[in-house]
Structure 1
Amino acid sequence: MKQKYLLGAGGLLSLFAIWQGGALLLAKSVPIATNLAPQATFESLWWLFSSGEIIPHITASLRRIAVGLGTALLVGVPLGLALGFSKKLEMWCTPSFQLLRMISPLSWMPIVVMLLGVGDLPVYFLLAFASVWSLIISTTAGVKSIDPQWLLLSRSMAASKTETLCKIVVPAIGSHVLTGLRVSMGIAWVVLVPCEMLGVNEGLGYFILDTRDRLAYSELMAAVVIIGLIGWGLDSLLRFALAKGGNK
């Protein structure tokens, strides 16, 4: 475990050194690139948090992620359960779902804006659309991994469908759903930034556009660092939940 943390810290230090070296090299031809260097970035990072300037944007982004992933869960898990228990339904839906899954969510942006207007609603839709497929696939796989003997036992004991779902199915697919949620969260977090360039007035994606327009490149780099740190933190929480679930 100690070696794991030491090697991880070494990797981060190497990344930091590459960042510093790249900024210095770029500054020779583009002087403004000094604002992209680590020192200027961390100074802006400190200012953004100490002044509270970045907090509303972080809050807005996390709210959109929560709504988008929540919607994906409400749609994806029941669909995955239905596909897992019905072979005919799975054969009927799989070609259409595979076709839709392979379309970049960002390619829907002009259509979604035309139909839903600007604001939070199209962002919620795009995040949910981007993240629902992993949940459908992982939930379906979880249902198929259930030992048929457990389902037979449930029927022999005259358990209701609700009891079977709560006592057998949900515990059996829990780790699969968490794995799908982890993948979905990563996809949604990556898609979030371009989605927040869709006519909203807050959020990390909007903040990046704003700093670009103001030529505040050190703040832009600080926003990039914040996006990476928050995404890392969210993924770590899901990995922790997955590890806890696997130990039960």
Structure 2
Amino acid sequence: MSVSWATADPPKAVPAGRPISSSSAWRAALLRQTIGIAGLAVLLVLWWGGTKLIAAPGSFLRHFSPLEAVTTLGRLATNSDLPIHVLVSLRRVLIGLGLALVIGVPIGLAVGRSALLNSATSPSFQFLRMISPLSWMPLAVMVLGVGDRPIYFLLAFAAVWPILLSTAEGVRQLQPAWLRLAASLSATRWETLRHVVLPGVLAHVLTGLRLAIGVVWIVLVPCEMLGVSAGLGYFILDTRDRLAYSELTAMVLVIGLLGFLLDAAARGLNRLVTHRH
């Protein structure tokens, strides 16, 4: 049975360079890590200088010093509901990303396969993609009510576009030889999809997932300021209402750290899949 998947011409072969020894690769990785830590140290020094040296005595900015933020963060981690708020936010992110994957991957496969479908949907997708997810907040609340459901919708809407477009691009870049081999073995459409197409586009899907994580993490905090009683966004509003400035700064650190860890996990998964392939 013949299988028709839209593909691009195979890329030209690139001559292989000299193999890199494990010790050289280790030294290069250590150098990159050292440079990254040095960059973070410079950022921390600039933060401290801005709040302690440049700000005048008694200035409002002195409430946001890094020392007070780190001290407060240690207290919040052990003597507050911060872990619960973190888990609630992570649960919302995972559900939003899951919905985006369920919607974006199948549509991306269909769009990448069919040039006609791509031409028909590309203007609409590009139009919707450029609308800020936060623009839908009032409509989401009116239709879905307050609580978690409008947050899931907004997060999924924000995450679906990078996943969909990356999946479609992955289908277009499939090696034609793989599809010809599947056709020569009389593979059915389902067999070709399962054993050729999905493994071939997996790296692109993970790249789209990493981009989606960055977008979702940015959208999450303002979404959680919308009629909920838990989450990082809610906790930030609570610290503002209580004028707890050191706690507010500590929450900014938590959001940045969690976002960094989520992105690192996505990068690690992408490298693992690429290495296995």
Secondary structure in 2 matching 1:103: coil
The one of 238, 241, 258 equivalent to 1:210 is 238
Q: Are the equivalent residues in 2 in contact too, given 1:34–1:40 (CA < 8 A)?
A: no
Residue 172 in structure 1 maps to residue 200 in structure 2? yes
Which whole-Å CA distance do the structure 2 matches of 1:175 and 1:27 have between them? 47
Secondary structure in 1 matching 2:56: helix
Q: Pick which of 22-31 and 89-98 moved more.
A: 22-31
Q: Are the equivalent residues in 2 in contact too, given 1:119–1:200 (CA < 8 A)?
A: yes
Name the one with the larger helix percent: 1
Give the direction of change, closer, same or farther, for the CA distance of 1:26–1:104 in structure 2 (3 Å limit).
Answer: farther
Secondary structure in 2 matching 1:201: coil
What is aligned with 2:145? 117
> What amino acid does structure 2 have at the position aligned with 1:31?
S
Percent of aligned pairs sharing the same letter? 50
Task: Report deviation, 1:181.
Answer: 0.2
Task: Report deviation, 1:199.
Answer: 0.6
Task: Report deviation, 1:209.
Answer: 0.4
What is aligned with 1:48? 76
Who wins on radius of gyration, i.e. which is larger?
2
Task: Report deviation, 1:27.
Answer: 4.1
Deviations 1:6-57 (A, max 9, x none): 1111101100011111112564276343221011101110011111420110
Deviations 1:159-211 (A, max 9, x none): 12221111101111011000000000000001000000011100000000000
Which whole-Å CA distance do the structure 2 matches of 1:79 and 1:29 have between them? 58
> What amino acid does structure 2 have at the position aligned with 1:208?
I
The aligned length equals 248
What is aligned with 2:187? 159
Deviations 1:76-129 (A, max 9, x none): 000000001111111111100000000001111111111111110000000000
Which whole-Å CA distance do the structure 1 matches of 2:271 and 2:80 have between them? 34
Over aligned residue pairs, what C-alpha RMSD do you find? 1.2
Which whole-Å CA distance do the structure 1 matches of 2:141 and 2:33 have between them? 45
Give the direction of change, closer, same or farther, for the CA distance of 1:243–1:32 in structure 2 (3 Å limit).
Answer: same
TM-score normalised by structure 2 residue count = 0.87
Q: Pick which of 177-186 and 50-59 moved more.
A: 50-59
> 1:87-166 alignment to 2 at 5 Å?
87-166=115-194
Residue 36 in structure 1 maps to residue 60 in structure 2? no
Give the direction of change, closer, same or farther, for the CA distance of 1:164–1:223 in structure 2 (3 Å limit).
Answer: same
Which whole-Å CA distance do the structure 2 matches of 1:25 and 1:211 have between them? 25
Q: Pick which of 32-41 and 74-83 moved more.
A: 32-41
What is aligned with 1:86? 114
Q: Are the equivalent residues in 2 in contact too, given 1:26–1:33 (CA < 8 A)?
A: no
Which whole-Å CA distance do the structure 1 matches of 2:182 and 2:56 have between them? 71
Which whole-Å CA distance do the structure 2 matches of 1:215 and 1:192 have between them? 22
Which whole-Å CA distance do the structure 2 matches of 1:228 and 1:72 have between them? 23
TM-score normalised by structure 1 residue count = 0.97
> 1:185-204 alignment to 2 at 5 Å?
185-204=213-232
Task: Report deviation, 1:63.
Answer: 0.4
Runs of 4+ in 1 over 6 A off after TM superposition: none
Residue 236 in structure 1 maps to residue 264 in structure 2? yes
Higher relative contact order (CA 8 A, sep 6+): 2
Task: Report deviation, 1:72.
Answer: 0.2
